Chain A
Amino acid sequence: MSAVPSLGLTNSSVYMPQLLEIVDVRVMSAQEKLFTIELPFSTSLMHKPGQFLEVSIFGLGEAPISISSSPSRSVHAFELCVRCAGMLTRAVHQCEPGDRIGIRGPFGRGFPIERFKGKDILFAPGGLGLAPLRSLIWEVLDDRNNFGQVTILYGARNPSELLFRDELDEWAVRDDVELYVTVDNPDADWSGNVGVITTLFSNLRVSPRNTVAVTCGPPVMYRFVLMELLGKGIPEGNIWLSLERRMKCGVGKCGHCQIDHIYTCQEGPAFSYAEIRHLEEALR
């Protein structure tokens, strides 16, 4: 056959999940749980921060979930922070330690952390956006000497939706991390900042030429956060974001995650603003 390259007949499939065991489940909020999943034979996931996995329970389908643990902390096991948002994730939430779930990946292009070295890093996650950025945050903090100032601006709708609260406490007391947290709707116990994430930018001082900003959050957040970051003078190529799309297959075939002429699961989900600003559909 002339048209198809001579790849031999095979009995393997890119759609074949591995069944891996959940070894720990932590409740993060009313909607989110953190699952620790064991890797067989003490292997490492070999992922990059920003990459994702296809998670499945047979009978309920498959969905892309970003990897929440850093490569530096994903030997023997990795973590997924899952929001209960649909049929599959509802079933995942019912899983307990000892249950096995289907895993494929890692897929996609993560953040090019080697290009961030020597620079100040400004993280701006909103809501569940902390789940993928946490992977990058720990990767940076576990190699702290190779980065300049580290600042984390985190916004959530209300205090009960703040994720990774013990880690937020840990970052808050570290003197090599600056953490600012805000909520849109405070409750009686909240004594911190109030307002959307962009309110945290007003007193922020950055050296724009030496700063890499990384943001991840709901689609509606990006336009406003980007305006702040560009307003600070951070170059377009140093502003990174992770775009959410319906990455059904993870291998660049199914078409669901298309943005203009690119597939998010192949060329993203991590993109610099310079890479996507010319794409019509990127920031809808």
Chain B
Amino acid sequence: MLLKILSKSDLPDAVERLGQRYRIIAPMLHEGQTVFKELLPGDAPDMEYRTTPLPPKKALLPPREELIQLQSTNGESRLEPVLDVQPAVLLGVHTCDLHAIGLLDKVFTEGVPDQHYINRRRLTKIISLECLEPCSEHSFCKSMGTLAVPESFDLHLTDLGSDYAVEIGSKAGLNLLWKFFTIRDAGDDDYARLNKAMSEKWSRFNYRLDIDATELPGLMSLNYADELWEELGQQCLSCGACNLVCPTCFCFDVQDEIDVDLRSGVRTRVWDSCQLARFALVAGGHNFRIRRGDRLRHRFMRKGKYIQEMYDRPGCVGCGRCAQACPVDIKPLDVFNRLAAGHVNQSEMKKEAIV
């Protein structure tokens, strides 16, 4: 590992220099909460934040994004794709969210490539941040395997008190480092400080899922017909807050917006929610998931099983944001553990049956 050391007191200067070349999206204190937001000159990122209401996903997959532009002149319509060309730096991304971005990368590049996402992603450099403390009572990243940093960062920072240890993840990251940061090479004691920080960190996080994450898809299969879905469906408000705050949700709707002159307009992609009643509705009026329990189960199946099977990545990164956002306290950790409890009983029964 090639390690560099950035003094914390040198970060504001680096951010300012970066800001002259790049749009910077970073965690920032805003109306009493830390949110991912574009930094304006003079703004300081909040590098000590715990969690944010919305994940940094929105920097790569915005809640509303223009795809196609329409211009009509003299009765002749012209369509043009809208593609982002603004280079950006996404700063301060925690590891769970970085894992989620890794999933989005797969979703939008595999199969039919989505140029809107790919363009923006290629123009966005990611500077991630090691998590040293659990961020919320709802998070279970250690169980989901997302507490360790994946390889999709350009630079990765670990807080060493007065300094950051900087790992270089890509050539682009190396370029950023040389051009914009004042750094020094790591010495033996820096490696020792990093090792200490990392080994202390792991013991602060607990395994909170009662099974191993690799068992989750199987557990979900076994419990497809469980009564729990209908029970939770009766509580669920079908509000879609869980989808809105989820770093791995990427489903979208496509909507047209026409200007008042009726000559120009845009086709947009907007975040959608599988919890809303019309999500699986077809033109003939048939709704393939009419019951709330069916929709809620679909979401949990995606998080615990389908995404893993489709993309070979966890569909839930254990960030706990949906548990925080849910107005009726439906929490993924509780759901998974309740299913696991039933499953444990079943396997004990099986064991007894074998004996």
Contact = CB atoms under 8 A, between A and B. Distances in A.
Contacts of B283: 63, 83, 85-86, 89
A19 B79 contact: yes
A14 B114 contact: yes
A15 B269 CA distance: 10
B183 interface: no
Nearest to A8: B122
B52 interface: no
Contacts of A16: 68, 79, 81
A251 interface: yes
Interface stretch (A196-204, A230-238, A254-262): A254-262
Interface in B242-281: 250-256, 258, 262, 265, 267, 269, 272, 274, 279-281
B267 A58 contact: yes
Interface stretch (B16-24, B37-45, B301-309, B334-342): B301-309
B67 A245 contact: no
A9 B122 contact: yes
A260 B284 contact: no
Interface in A57-89: 58-63, 83, 85-86, 89
Contacts of A167: none
Given A15-B67, A260-B301, A85 B81 contact: no
Nearest to B80: A16
B254 A62 contact: yes
Interface in A260-284: 260-262, 266, 280-281, 284
Contacts of A94: none
Nearest to B82: A13
B350 interface: no
B321 interface: no
A116 B302 CA distance: 35
B109 interface: yes
Interface in A89-125: 89, 100, 102
B135 to A, nearest CB: 23
Nearest to B266: A58
Closest 8 CB pairs between A and B?
A255-B251, A3-B152, A13-B81, A251-B112, A261-B306, A85-B283, A59-B258, A3-B105
28 contacts: A1-B122, A1-B154, A1-B170, A2-B151, A2-B152, A3-B105, A3-B150, A7-B113, A9-B83, A10-B119, A11-B81, A13-B67, A14-B113, A15-B68, A19-B77, A58-B70, A59-B70, A83-B283, A85-B284, A102-B79, A245-B282, A246-B281, A249-B252, A252-B112, A254-B252, A255-B251, A256-B272, A281-B298
Interface of A: 1-5, 7, 9-17, 19, 56, 58-63, 83, 85-86, 89, 100, 102, 128, 218-219, 244-246, 248-249, 251-256, 258-262, 266, 280-281, 284
